[in-house]
Amino acid sequence: MVRQHVNPLSRLHQSVEPLPPPAELFADPALPLHLDIGSARGRFLLAMAPLRPGRNHLGLEIRRPLVEAAEADRQREGLTNLRFLYGNANVNLPAWLALLPPGQLELVTLQFPDPWFKARHHKRRVLQPALLLAIASALAPGRELFLQSDVEGLITPMRQLVEASGAFEPAGPGECGPQVNPLPVATERERHVLAQGGPVHRSLYRRTRAPLPPLADLEARLEADGGGADNRQDVAPA
C-alpha cells in the first residue's frame, strides 16, 4: 500500500472554503460528534457509522477525489450520521471547532497520517501545535483523542506534543496498546501493516480539566524537549 502524499502547504490547499456547521451536515446535528482527521477513502468511517448510530461521524480529507468517492458510498448506503468533507485540517479545523456547541465533540481520531520524514518537511505534518490546542479546546473533560501510526518516528513527536500541552492523560495499557485497539474497526492501513507483520503504535488520550497553554508556550516546551518522547505504550506487557 503506497502512501499518496499531498503537500498541505501548497497554495491550492491554503485557500479552502470554510467547513459547513453540523446543522448543515447531519440529519440530527445535536448528536455527539466523532471527527476523523485524514479519512482517506472513508472505509473506516463507513464501517463505524452503522456501529455507532448514536454519534455523528465527520471525515476530513485533503485529497478531493477520495472525498468524492467516499461521499458517493455514503449516499448509496443512506448513512445520515456520516459525512465526508474536503479540507485542510490546519486551515479549516481551528475555526470550525471553535464554533461547536460545548461538549458535542466526543472523539477525535488521527490514524496513519503522512509521516513526512525529512526534517524540513515536518511542518507539513498534520498534528501541529495550533491544531492540537484547537482540538483540546473543543474536547470536554473525559473526551478522547486517539492517535495511530505504523511509523515510530511520527507517533513519538505526536505523543510529545499532546503530553507537552498538559491537557491530556493517557489511557492505561488495558485500554490501548500495541495489541489493543480501542476502536471496533481497523483502518485499511492498519490491516495492511498487521498483515505484513509490521508494528502499529497507538495512543489514546483523555482531556483533563487542565487549562491550555498559550501557543507560544507550547512551542517553547517542544523546543526545550528537543523532539524526544518516551514510548511506554509501545512496550507490550511481559
pLDDT, tens digit (0-9, with 9 covering 90-100), for 89-143: 999 999 999 999 999 999 999 999 875 344 554 576 889 999 999 999 999 999 9
- Between CA 177 and CA 171 the distance in angstroms is 9
pLDDT tier at 198 (50, 70, 90 boundaries)? very high
The reply to whether 73 falls in a domain is yes
Classify residue 238: in a domain, yes or no. no
Q: Is residue 11 part of a domain?
A: no
Q: What is the pLDDT of residue 224?
A: 87
Q: Say how many CA atoms lie within 13 Å of 135 toward its Cβ.
A: 31
**Segments forming the whole domain that contains residue 70:** 16-227
Instruction: Flag whether 97 is in a domain.
Output: yes
Inside any domain, residue 6: no
Region of 206 on the Ramachandran plot (φ > 0 left; ψ -120 to 50 alpha; else beta): beta
- CA-CA distance, 22 to 19, in Å (whole number)? 9
Share of the chain above pLDDT 70, in %: 84
Instruction: Give catalytic residue positions.
Output: 114
What is the CATH number for 69? 3.40.50.150
Start-to-end CA distance of the chain, whole Å, equals 31
Query: Does 28 reside within a domain?
Result: yes
Instruction: Identify each DSSP E strand in 38-156 by its residue range.
Output: 56-61, 82-86, 105-111, 144-149
Percent of residues, the chain, with pLDDT higher than 90 = 78
How do residues 178-196 score in pLDDT, each as one tens digit?
999 999 999 999 999 999 9
Domain count, the chain: 1
Has residue 8 been placed in a domain? no
In a domain, 172, yes or no: yes
pLDDT band at 5 (very low <50, low <70, confident <90, very high): low
